[in-house]
Amino acid sequence: MRNLSKKIVSFVTAALIALSCFGISVSAVDSLIPEGNGNMYLDVVFVLDSSGSMLESDPNRVAADAFSLFTDLCDDTCGVGYTIYSHIIKESEAITALDEKHLAELKTKISGMNRNPQGDTDIALGLDKALQLHELNMTEDDGRKKAVILLSDGNTHLIDGSKSDAQLEKEMNDVLQKLSDNEIPVYAIGLNYDGTLDKKETNKIAETTGGKAFEAKASNELPAIIADIFADIYDIKGDSKEIKDGNVEVYIKDKSVSYVNLIIRSRLSIDQLNPVLMNPRRETIDIRNNENFVVTTTDSYILIKMLSPVSGRWKLHLDNATNENCSVSQLDFYSMYVKQSIADLDNTLVVGETTRIVASLNNELGLVTDKSLTENISMTTTVTGGGEIKTIDLTPQSNGQFIGEIILTTEGSYTVVTTAVSDNFNKTSVPLTLTAKTYTAEEIKKFKYDSESLAPIEIPEQDPHPSFNPITIIIGFIVLAGIGIAIFLIFKLKDRANQSALSLARADSHGMPEPERPAPPAPPIETIQNMPEPPKDEYIDIPLVEHGSLDSLIKKGPDDAFNSNSADYQTDKSLEAIIKKGPDNDLGFGSPDMEELNEFDNTQQETYQSGHNFSDLFGGGQH
């Protein structure tokens, strides 16, 4: 029976697990959570100068460390490609996802790239190749960020005269315009080791494409610039840390922080610094042997990457570190994205009618409702098309959504983009392309809603607890029914077990097995009339009419327990001995003598009400 109970319990447990797992899978599909362990979704192409002058401007090949640092800051939703140029394209590789093996191969190729002592510099050629690599990997409205990182120490100029300066300038203008049209910013890093860098050209490249220009007078400044570029792409507010007695405080604001990057730049090696990290509970973490931490070391930087860390105040200790010989910066990446929709209008824009826009901040758990985040966020939607650009601020709602309204006056195709901005991050939604049309009054009725109210409305796919679909509900009922049956069986088996145990206990109390007994016959009606009400919990109710009747009761009791020995009790004297000297000698009114016993006759009936004692006397039979 115990084994059967265990099997039923196992069944119930398995059913609950199966139901919960099924629910999770449905929720994941319904909530449209991005894949990967983050949501950086960046495609970047490095354009690396390999002209002869790079031998002097970057003798220690820190450019390779810059490439390594940027890719280490990315997650596996990112793609990376590169092109190596001088006055020709020497080598290139298409944008490929950053898995661990591919990343190691890329780092090896970049660190071992050859530099041509006789090579000239044609920056436009390198940028055009980067554009081609992006175009090969580009799909419409894929929602991925795109960027080019250019690293050069010279100016566009060909000594051999194969292209005139005018031709070079035209090619540069053409490629920059194409990059701008495709919204691919260029981050131009100029190595100005000898003071001959044409800053005007790097600034033009950055400004035309929406990127930024940087100047590095020494190659060891590159890691800091790369960190700034990464922060600019994601609008991350980098935090430079102060070092006190070798200690650095690392503050993680909330649970939505997906990655924390600690970048250490120092002349000291990792062995000399011996980094030790303590969590908010002041427990020491072995960062070199922990799957939640990734440590990368090069000659120019040390990167400690914390994956999904708990919020609170951490402490980093660095031996021998001071503010003079070491710098530490913190870059937090929030794994969140902005979701937007056109509410109540079936994603239709109606010219001249109010259009409601609903947006929310989401993470892998669904809609973000944490007030520590939503209270400090502003959301803005930009609608572009029909020859106009309209920007509206969305109003926060109590359920974590943001709502705004806009009226379009011109038919045409429109692009809707919503941006969420806080002190810690900047997130932009995937662009939504829609068509605005003019409809008749009857057609507009189906789009109408109460535009005077901005009451929160529900968007199913943004619900942090998505409802189950019909199939899930049916399966849930079946599983719950099975659980109910199993619980009923468990209680039924338990009740039977209790009855068996009670029977065994009764049998043990008499030293013999207790057979199945028929229900006792009801006492004659005439004997129970005028009987006194028995005290509570005392149930002996056997009428004694005369000696002969009592003798018959002993011989032929309802439970037949004493029949085998009834021959021993054939006389009044024997009966007198039993009544006087019973097992507990307590009949509830004392032990009567024979004279008292003889007073029983047909006209005067007395009842023995001595509880279990009288019952024990006659073998424990039921009556």
Q: With contact defined as beta carbons under 8 Å apart, do 138 and 36 qualify?
A: no
Which of 20-29, 166-175, 447-456 is most confident? Answer: 166-175
CATH number of 42-233: 3.40.50.410
- Three-state DSSP class for residue 216: strand
Kind plus residue range of the DSSP H or E element containing 362:
strand 354-363
Q: Smallest Cα–Cα separation from 4: which of 505, 491, 499?
A: 491
Q: Smallest Cα–Cα separation from 34: which of 337, 273, 279, 254?
A: 337
Give the residue with greater pLDDT, 267 vs 565: 267
Q: Which of 76-80, 504-508, 534-538 has the lowest mean pLDDT?
A: 534-538
Domain ranges of the chain: 1-31+470-516, 42-233, 239-334, 340-462, 525-617
Give the residue with greater pLDDT, 574 vs 153: 153
Q: With contact defined as beta carbons under 8 Å apart, do 396 and 373 qualify?
A: no
Question: Cα 299 vs. chain centroid, distance in angstroms?
Answer: 37
Tell me: pLDDT of 190 over 50. yes
DSSP output for 365-434: TEE---HHHHTT-EEEEEEEETTEEEEEEPEE-TTSEEEEEEE--S-EEEEEEEEEE-SS-EEEPPPEEE
**Which CATH number applies to 239-334: 3.40.630.10, 1.10.150.120, 2.60.40.740, 3.40.120.10?**
2.60.40.740
Tell me: pLDDT of 207 over 70. yes
- pLDDT attached to residue 596: 44
Give the residue with greater pLDDT, 264 vs 348: 264
- pLDDT attached to residue 356: 86
Q: With contact defined as beta carbons under 8 Å apart, do 336 and 425 qualify?
A: yes
Tell me: pLDDT of 469 over 60. no
- pLDDT attached to residue 487: 79
pLDDT tier at 144, thresholds 50, 70, 90: confident
pLDDT tier at 604, thresholds 50, 70, 90: very low
- Give CA–CA dist 377/367, Å, rounded: 14
Give the max Cα distance, the chain.
Answer: 149
Average pLDDT over residues 337-344: 76
- pLDDT attached to residue 69: 92
Q: Which of 372-376, 378-382, 470-474, 556-560 has the lowest mean pLDDT?
A: 556-560
Tell me: pLDDT of 244 over 90. yes
What sign has the CA pseudo-torsion 193, 198, 202, 205? Answer: negative
- Give CA–CA dist 562/618, Å, rounded: 7
CB atoms inside a 10 Å sphere around CB 567: 8
- pLDDT attached to residue 141: 59
Which of 7-21, 36-50, 602-616 is most confident? Answer: 36-50
Q: With contact defined as beta carbons under 8 Å apart, do 246 and 275 qualify?
A: no
**Which CATH number applies to 340-462: 2.60.40.10, 1.10.3720.10, 3.40.50.150, 3.20.20.70?**
2.60.40.10
In the block, tokens 């260029």 appear at: 186
Q: Smallest Cα–Cα separation from 104: which of 61, 62, 72, 79?
A: 72
pLDDT tier at 376, thresholds 50, 70, 90: confident
Q: With contact defined as beta carbons under 8 Å apart, do 562 and 554 qualify?
A: yes
- Give CA–CA dist 231/238, Å, rounded: 7
3-state SS of 307-330 is ECCCCEEEEEECCCCCCCCEEEEE
Mean pLDDT of the residues in the chain = 74
Nearest-5° angle of CA 207, CA 209, CA 211?
65
- pLDDT attached to residue 579: 54
Q: With contact defined as beta carbons under 8 Å apart, do 208 and 180 qualify?
A: yes
pLDDT digits (tens, 9 = 90+) for 383-407: 988 888 889 999 998 888 899 998 8
Strands in 86-228 per DSSP E: 89-97, 145-152, 186-191, 213-216
Tell me: pLDDT of 546 over 70. no
- pLDDT attached to residue 191: 85
**In percent, how much of the chain has pLDDT > 70?**
65
Kind plus residue range of the DSSP H or E element containing 10:
helix 2-31
Kind plus residue range of the DSSP H or E element containing 366:
strand 366-367
Provide the residue type at 476 as one letter.
G
End-to-end Cα distance, the chain: 33
Distances (CA, A) of 27 to 430, 460, 466, 468: 21, 11, 6, 7
- pLDDT attached to residue 66: 87
3-state SS of 459-518 is CHHHCCCCCCCHHHHHHHHHHHHHHHHHHHHHHHHHHHHHHHHHHHHHHHHHCCCCCCCC
pLDDT tier at 355, thresholds 50, 70, 90: confident
Q: With contact defined as beta carbons under 8 Å apart, do 326 and 265 qualify?
A: yes
- pLDDT attached to residue 365: 73
- pLDDT attached to residue 410: 87
Tell me: pLDDT of 38 over 80. no
Q: With contact defined as beta carbons under 8 Å apart, do 252 and 332 qualify?
A: yes
Tell me: pLDDT of 375 over 50. yes
